[in-house]
Every structure is written in structure tokens, then in C-alpha cells.
Copies of this chain bind each other. A is one copy, B any other.
Amino acid sequence: MSCGEFELIARYFDRATCSRRDVEKGIGDDCALLSVPEKQTLAISTDTLVCGVHFLRDIHPADLAYKALAVNLSDLAAMGADPAWLTLALTLPQVNESWLKAFSDSLFELLDYYNMQLVGGDTTRGPLSMTLGIHGLVPQGRALKRSGARIGDWIYVTGTLGDSAAGLALLQHHVKIDDPVAHEALIKRHLRPMPRVLQGQALRDLASSAIDLSDGLISDLGHILQASACGARLNLDALPLSEVVKQNFPAQQTLHWALSGGEDYELCFTVPEINRGALDVALGYHGVPYTCIGQIAPQSDGLTLLQNDRPVEINLKGFDHFGSR
């Protein structure tokens, strides 16, 4: 029996590059069969990427595969989980073998880097989109949640903010810069975000809450504040901006990108005063900067944005698929 769909799946996605011992049965049965070790909790997350909504129509398939997986890895990072297994549901308008090869090569490169195994999925015909289901493991009781922030905790972010939004604006020709190296660097920050998996794991037992920055700092910090029933004071002067963004765009634009640009996939987390020393030890080993940008406040205070130590009003919204922009 010759069936195009099954051959397709087999050819590009049934690769035995990584064979984890906790995978009893991977691709090729009605379900994958997986073992969760004792004293480990399963962490799972699902993200859909739709062509024209989450990625541009002309994106290279290698960039698309990278980003689809990186976005999901970022959710595991925000829980402090260790990546394990992936499912991929891929909807394609037609079979394009060179597209599939580039997509799957890039996907497996990143899977292998994290010692992950593709354990199942679905391939269907339709408008280009994909849904990834990512599964990670975290020691019992040590997962980072959004709900643990307490008044007085310090608010941190990893890396720099707004680069991804700047890269997207460049790709969409909404802005331009002359320096080709800076241009490339920002586009790479948009297309190839680095999930902070190791940083998330280092934050176990240290951070009181964490989230990854997918929708923009204001929006995502808002989720921590809501889940933790807190407010916050955010020091806009402290927001970490990359040199390339600072040198090429006006301050108001970079501030807007840093606060609401989205897709930076950095971690935003809170740390109690008592853990700040340990934090410096834990994250000091990593090459990724981290910056204190504010402090958790009582819920009744809401979210206060400070510039030069004075409250300012800024009208911003995070990315919202169904809301008005």
C-alpha cells in the first residue's frame, strides 16, 4: 500500500537521531509511550503558529522550524523545566520536498541540541500552520510559576528587550537602518530567539515567579501580577536595551518596543531580597545578562511606570490576536 502522507512523515520526521531511554514508543503507533521518572513532574505547553499571523509568508522554512520550537522551549524555560519530547502537527497547503527538508533539518538540529525526541504528530493538508506540543520534566515541587511573586521581590529580565520587535519592523520595512551588520543582528534576534532554558533551570528555588516574554513586558509582567495578586513599580530607565537598538532608533521607539514589542523570549522573573546573592552566583555562570528593572508592590498600587523616579503614563498594549491593536 503506497500512501503519500505516511511516506512523507516517515521520510522527513521519523529520524532516529536522538533515542531517549524514556521513550518506549515514539512515532509509528496510535500513541507515543513515555516514561516519567519518579519524583519528576511533567510540564507541557502548546503553541500554534499560523502563516500571516505568527510568521511572515516569505519566512525561510529553517527559520520557521527554529522559531516554532524555540517559542515552545521558552515556555519550558519559564517553568524551569528540562526539555524532553515534542509533538508536531503540521498543516501544509501542498507537499514541497525542499521546504520539508529545510524545515525538518532545522527542527532536528535544535531538537538534538536539547536532547529532545520528536515522538508524534500529524500531517494534514490545509492553510500553512503548525501546533507544537512540548513536554519537559522538572523535579517535584520546584517548577517556577507565575503566582509566587510577593511584595518587595525584585523584578528581573534576562537579555535585552525590544530587539525582536525592531527586527520585525525591519523585515516589514516599517523602519530602516543603514548599517548592514546591525540590520542582520536585529533580524536574527527576531527570527532566531534564544530560549533561556538553562537560565530557567538555574532559577529553580531562587525565583519566586517567572514568565517568558512572548507578548511584551507589560502584558507578560501583567500575568505575573494577576496570578500573584500584586502590583509593581517598573523603572523604565533600567530596561536593558541593546547597543544596536539604542544607536539606531529614537528613545521613544525603543521604549515602546521594549515594553510592548513582544517575541523577545527573554525571561521575566521575581526574586526575594534574600535570594539576590544566590541569584548572582547562579546566573553569573551564564553568558546572558540579567537586569533588575523594578520591584513588586501591593496590588492596590497597580503597575507604576517610573522615569527619573517619577510616575509616567504610557499607553501600550501587548500583542493580542483578537483585540484591537
Tell me whether B79 and A33 are in contact (CB under 8 A): yes
Tell me whether B322 and A8 are in contact (CB under 8 A): yes
Tell me whether A33 and B41 are in contact (CB under 8 A): yes
Tell me whether A41 and B46 are in contact (CB under 8 A): no
Q: Which of A35, A36, A44, A94 has the most chain B CB atoms closer than 10 A to its own CB? A: A44
Tell me whether B52 and A43 are in contact (CB under 8 A): no
* Tier of interface size on chain A: 35 or more
Does chain B have a CB within 8 A of A323? yes
- Please, which residues of chain B bring their CB within 8 A of the CB of A51? 126
Does chain B have a CB within 8 A of A34? yes
Using CB atoms, name the residue of chain B closest to A322.
B4
Per-residue CB contact flags for chain A residues 129-147 toward chain B (1 = under 8 Å, else 0) read 1010101101010010111
Distance, CA A211 to CA B28, complexed state (A): 11
Q: Which of A1-37 contact B (CB under 8 A)?
A: 1-6, 8, 24-25, 28-36
Tell me whether B227 and A317 are in contact (CB under 8 A): no
Tell me whether A50 and B219 are in contact (CB under 8 A): no
Per-residue CB contact flags for chain A residues 115-136 toward chain B (1 = under 8 Å, else 0) read 0000111111111010101011
Binding site for B on A (CB under 8 A): 1-6, 8, 24-25, 28-36, 38, 41-54, 75-76, 78-79, 81, 85, 87-89, 91, 94-95, 119-127, 129, 131, 133, 135-136, 138, 140, 143, 145-147, 210-212, 218-219, 222, 227, 317-318, 320-324
